[in-house]
């Protein structure tokens, strides 16, 4: 009987799936065996866990590389270079074609007498006198002007107002007078720098010539100080006047020289009596067909 039990146990171990139970009955022993299914690891236990999601930075880098590759492919495909979002507009030329209007630049140091001679030309020759300085002062005084403070500072310091401001004021004034039938303009105190001269002729009109008043500095200083007694202008004082003289020599004389090399400058001495100077101005205009 014992050998049967040993044999049964051995068979159970060899099969690996037999569960053996000894049941004692009166006078005998018998086996109660039930077969169980072998236990294999489940598929869930053998599948490795999913990898962690990639960091956010790597995702963004990947998207950036993808976008760059797409753009490059588009460039090669269309055979065109990339362009900016806003393309510069082509230059369309001056507002007024040549011979449409006649513009005479009037230059000279502060106190040379430009305004006095221009006033006589307006009365006798029908010119429209546009003083760059007067236009700037009017803009400075205009309520709500965004350039008022800037213009005031430049006038006080004897420096030049940015050309965009002066050009815009001159263009507006010329257009207004042109719509009224005027075609002859004296632009007084302008251009004061080379960039102003070039921009005016590119954007508004080509000048006929430049009328340049030559005057000794001491004569101009005396005139300005005398005017300052009644003008109320902030720049009619010795300090501002000397700054203006220096600015004129440094920035405006190169403009005179530039036009002079083109044969487009008429020089008039203005340290003489007003009427004598005016006679010289009329002769200069006559020689130029104006």
Binding-site sequence positions for a ribonucleoside 5'-phosphate: 137, 159-161, 189-192, 196, 233, 244
Of the candidates 113, 154, 105, the one whose C-alpha atom is nearest the C-alpha of residue 130 is 105
Q: Do residues 215 and 112 make contact, with C-beta atoms less than 8 angstroms apart?
A: yes
Structure tokens at 281: 């101005």
d(CA 285, CA 270): 16
Q: Which residues are annotated as a binding site for ATP?
A: 111-116, 227, 272
Residue 172: CB atoms within 10 A of its CB come to 11
Residue 191: CB atoms within 10 A of its CB come to 29
d(CA 95, CA 89): 15
Q: Which residues are annotated as a binding site?
A: 111-116, 137, 159-161, 189-192, 196, 227, 233, 244, 272
Outline where the chain has alpha helix (H): 2-15, 43-46, 56-78, 114-125, 132-141, 148-157, 163-179, 194-203, 217-231, 238-247, 253-261, 274-287
């Amino acid at each position: 009987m014992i050998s049967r039990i040993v044999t049964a146990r051995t068979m159970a171990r060899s099969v690996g799936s037999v569960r053996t139970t000894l049941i004692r009955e009166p006078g005998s022993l018998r086996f109660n065996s039930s077969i169980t299914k072998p236990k294999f690891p489940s598929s869930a236990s053998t599948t490795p866990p999913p990898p962690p999601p990639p960091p956010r930075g790597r995702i963004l880098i990947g998207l950036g590389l993808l976008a760059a590759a797409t753009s490059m492919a588009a460039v090669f495909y269309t055979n065109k270079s990339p362009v900016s979002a806003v393309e510069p507009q082509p230059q369309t030329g001056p507002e007024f074609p040549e011979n449409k209007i006649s513009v005479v630049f009037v230059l000279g140091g502060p106190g040379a007498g430009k305004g006095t001679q221009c006033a006589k030309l307006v009365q006798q020759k029908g010119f429209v006198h546009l003083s760059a300085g007067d236009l700037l002062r009017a803009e400075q005084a205009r309520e709500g002007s965004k350039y008022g403070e800037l213009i005031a500072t430049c006038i006080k310091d004897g420096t030049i107002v940015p050309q965009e401001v002066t050009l815009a004021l001159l263009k507006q004034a010329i257009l207004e007078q042109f719509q009224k039938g005027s075609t002859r303009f004296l632009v007084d105190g302008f251009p004061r720098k080379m960039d102003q001269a070039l921009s005016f002729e590119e954007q508004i009109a080509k000048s006929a010539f430049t009328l340049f008043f030559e005057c000794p500095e001491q004569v101009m200083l005396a005139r300005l100080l005398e005017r300052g007694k009644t003008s109320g202008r902030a720049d009619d004082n010795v300090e501002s006047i000397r700054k203006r003289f220096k600015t004129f020599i440094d920035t405006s004389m190169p403009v005179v020289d530039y036009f002079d090399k083109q044969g487009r400058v008429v020089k008039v001495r203005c340290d003489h009596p007003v009427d004598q100077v005016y006679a010289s101005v009329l002769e200069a205009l006559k020689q130029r067909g104006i």
